[in-house]
Amino acid sequence: MEWDWAFVIQILPTLLQGVKITILATLLGSIVAAVVGLVIAIVRRSKNRLVSMPMGFVAEFIRGTPLLVQLYFIFYVLPDLGLTLSPLVAGVIGLGLHYGTYTAEVYRAGIENVARGQWEAAKACNLTPFQTWTRIILPQALPPMIPALANYFIAMFKETPLLSAITVLELMNQARSIANYNYRYIEPITLVGAFFLVISLISVIGLRWLERRYGRIG
């Protein structure tokens, strides 16, 4: 089988449609994971065990089961319970929840790295718990975590082909349908690999920059 440049040019627009969806799913999934992780981390710190224990259980459950199973559950099982989601929305929620349980650990470590004296000083300044979180703790905890969070978002990006299993027309899905339709695999699948590689490399360069910028505090 020979590499056919004419075929490459013919399928490129369709694949780029897929790239757009892949990037969109990654960005939205990252936002969901960033928020979900923060909520998990804060709730798990609660002194009220009736709150922190169930959250811990849910987080461990999500982390302990495969993303693919979760995607199937969200997209194919939830409709039976009355919740029907579009493929992309289901995919973004799946990615976000799954990676949220990982980013929660990043937040936990980052929050624990803030000196205990900062909580005490905030209390002595009579700040409310909300003000303490938003003005004192998170502004110190977040910058050092940015590289670790970005790492997970790159990992999430490389897992987006799983969304093809729930019919999201992302890059992998587009490539596969092109391949199935034309009985040619070499160009579409190679191009998928190349797209992922290029975007990953760009992301890693960005990550290095973030590490230099935010890797240390003070």
Partner 1 sequence: MAPANAAPTIEINGISKSFGSFKVLDELSFKVAPREKLALIGPSGSGKTTILRILMTLEGIDSGDILIEGDNLYRMPANGGLRPANEQHLHKMRTKIGMVFQLFNLFPHKSVIDNVTLAPMLTKGVRQAEAERHAMELLEMVGLADKAKAMPAQLSGGQKQRVAIARALALSPKIMLFDEVTSALDPELVEEVLNVLWRLCAETDMTMLLVTHEMGFAHDFADRILFFDRGRIVEEGKPEEIFRHPKQERTQTFLKKIIAAGHRV
What is the rounded distance in angstroms from the CA atom of residue 115 to the CA atom of residue 119?
A: 8
- Token pair 């999934």 is found at 29
What is the rounded distance in angstroms from the CA atom of residue 103 to the CA atom of residue 99?
A: 6
What is the rounded distance in angstroms from the CA atom of residue 119 to the CA atom of residue 128?
A: 11
By beta-carbon proximity to partner 1, the closer residue of 139 and 193 is 139
Shortest reach from residue 56's CB to partner 1, in Å: 24
By beta-carbon proximity to partner 1, the closer residue of 3 and 130 is 130
By beta-carbon proximity to partner 1, the closer residue of 83 and 115 is 115
Q: How far is CA 79 from CA 36, 84, 129, 140, in A?
A: 23, 4, 39, 42
By beta-carbon proximity to partner 1, the closer residue of 81 and 124 is 124
Shortest reach from residue 136's CB to partner 1, in Å: 6
**Residues in the site for partner 1, rule: CB under 8 A?**
115, 117-118, 120-121, 123-129, 131, 135-136, 139-140, 217-218
Shortest reach from residue 68's CB to partner 1, in Å: 41
What is the rounded distance in angstroms from the CA atom of residue 187 to the CA atom of residue 139?
A: 47
Quote the tokens at residue 149: 């969070």
